[in-house]
Chain A
Amino acid sequence: MSEITPELVRHLGVLARIQLSDEEVERLTGQLGAIVDNIAKVSEVATPDVPATSHPIPLANVFRPDEPQQPLTVAEVLQNAPDSDDDRFRVTAILGEEQ
């Protein structure tokens, strides 16, 4: 049986910054439960001796020379801004602190 509970889904919603409604939490709990039960089978073959692959085609040392390029103009930076002021993006009050 799945370990997906409504409390967990609600917590994941907070982490993912999605304001889930109660109905959504309930629906997602069921759906994710079924999905997780199905995909948990990866652990059957993922034994300790198997290395993880994070890049399908292995590369290393891909760097860029330290040469400045033209940055975006302020107009380009702000062109899609929902709100801005004084050449900066404007957001409503922040509750939590910097990490």
Chain B
Amino acid sequence: MSDIIRLSAADLAAQLRAGAVSAVEATRAHLDRIAAVDTDVHAFLHVNEHAERYAADIDQRRAAGEELPELAGVPLAVKDVLVTTDMPSTSGSKILEGYMSPYDATVVARARAAGLIAIGKTNMDEFAMGSSTEHSAYGPTHNPWDLERIPGGSGGGSAAAVAAFEAPLALGSDTGGSIRQPAHVTGTVGMKPTYGAVSRYGAIALASSLDQVGPVTRTVLDSALLQDIIGGHDANDATSLAEQWPSFAAAAREGARGDVLKGLKVGVITELPDSGFQPGVAESFRSALAAMEAQGAEIVEISAPHFEYGVAAYYLILPAEASSNLAKFDSVRFGLRVTPDGGATVEDVMAATREAGFGEEVKRRIILGTYALSAGYYDAYYGSAQKVRTLIQRDFDNAFEKVDVIATPAAPTTAFKLGERIGDPLQMYLNDVTTIPANLAGVPGITLPSGLASDDGLPVGIQFLAPAREDARLYRVGAALETLLVDQWGGPLLERAPRLPGEITHEGEAR
């Protein structure tokens, strides 16, 4: 049997069902892997001490003849933005160090009900503010492809965990690209579902009108299987969509057969010129499009004139909503409390706690958001940004009259070096130009590997966008391209990732 940790979730599930592997074995293999490599990768903030017990329970139920859900027994890494009852939930912030939630996030509860084994909580930029996971209060995560580089953000932990084979599946959250951009730089798959397709209940809110929880995996089918589990209506989230969703796994399996590319109209945005991208990124993108074209897809130029205002609108809406969402961290009910010396009032305690408990980037955005909502500035800033949302939605509507999906490079560059951009927040923000429009408009987007950049040998992702509620279309198209490329490469892209320092000794016994 091949190495358990390198199996996709779908394949591992098949082995579990066939009895070739037990859930305890699968869980132990991943815990061992974490023990071996995570000192270097630092994808996890917490490893679940109950994981083996949960796995033993699955094995027992299976042995008793119980009909278990398809993925029962498969390990799952959970982004620390999602609250869990059996592990601390910090959202990457010192202000929530050790916080224990009395309830599970809906997606976590659904994953548990489906028999997935929550093996740990993954690192992230503090309160999901960032594109590099360098803003975690608990230290950065390192890209498994090059430990000197960023794993993307804010969900760098989840992406690195699946890229480093520490978990086959992970949960992420995407407010402006936090699932899709880490997938791009780590050679993995990241899906941001339609806004409202997956419950936000129990996701520590960053920007409520932009946040969406979604799967982080190594294959398109695994993403689809995970969204089938976590998605669907939740009465605890008033913005959750009530409709019945088709099986995304069925869509991905259908897409893998390849014929969906025939006649597929793929939109390419004229306003996103190749010149704005690292040459290796643009080249990889073009070659993926060519591969699709060769299978009968039609590449159509479309115009999205307002996308260029997306970053600006995003950096008004996000800080504004975040400044309000993060007000609850005040030292009264939970979290850090810092009491200044001498006769402090509760106001002083709150201000000192928030000063000490929040990192630079969080404070910067809270102040920016407070400004954007302030009397006298609201119309010019927050109000205008909400209008830009309308314009971007119209751009999408117009485009989707002509094409089935839109394709973009998932981000302008490959993984940059840790520390390289941390001093220049504005430069960091502009990095999100390709992913932000989907959040502003609520449409789904998926990133999957398109190859390695010829200029630096690092992974590049291609992003597909579809109309709202057409998540299944992304799984179909994504799986089709994935099948095509994996065939071309002769195996998954991640096979080409360099070995990690910790796995040298482990390697001998595993293979």
Question: What is A's interface to B at a CB cutoff of 8 Å?
Answer: 4, 8-9, 12-21, 24, 28, 31-32, 34-36, 38-47, 50-57, 59, 62, 64, 72, 76-77, 79-83, 89, 91-96
Contact = CB atoms under 8 A, between A and B. Distances in A.
B324 to A, nearest CB: 10
Given A50-B390, A83-B337, A91-B346, A42 B368 contact: no
A62 to B, nearest CB: 4
B347 A53 contact: no
Given A9-B367, A45-B388, A96-B347, A57 B309 contact: no
B337 A35 contact: no
A50 B339 CA distance: 47
B24 interface: no
Contacts of B364: 28, 31-32
B391 interface: yes
A23 to B, nearest CB: 12
B102 interface: yes
B371 A40 contact: no
Given A28-B363, A52-B390, A93-B346, 10 more contacts: A18-B367, A19-B351, A35-B426, A36-B371, A39-B381, A42-B381, A46-B387, A57-B195, A59-B196, A89-B332
B93 interface: no
Contact of A32 (B241, B347, B368, B386): B368
B334 interface: yes
B1 interface: no
Nearest to B343: A93
Chain A at the B interface: SS class? loop
Contacts, number: 179
B352 interface: yes
Nearest to B98: A80
B133 interface: no
B351 A42 contact: no
Contacts of B366: 16, 18
Contacts of B374: 12, 15
B353 to A, nearest CB: 9
Given A13-B367, A19-B352, A80 B381 contact: no
B380 to A, nearest CB: 6
A43 B190 CA distance: 33
B106 interface: no
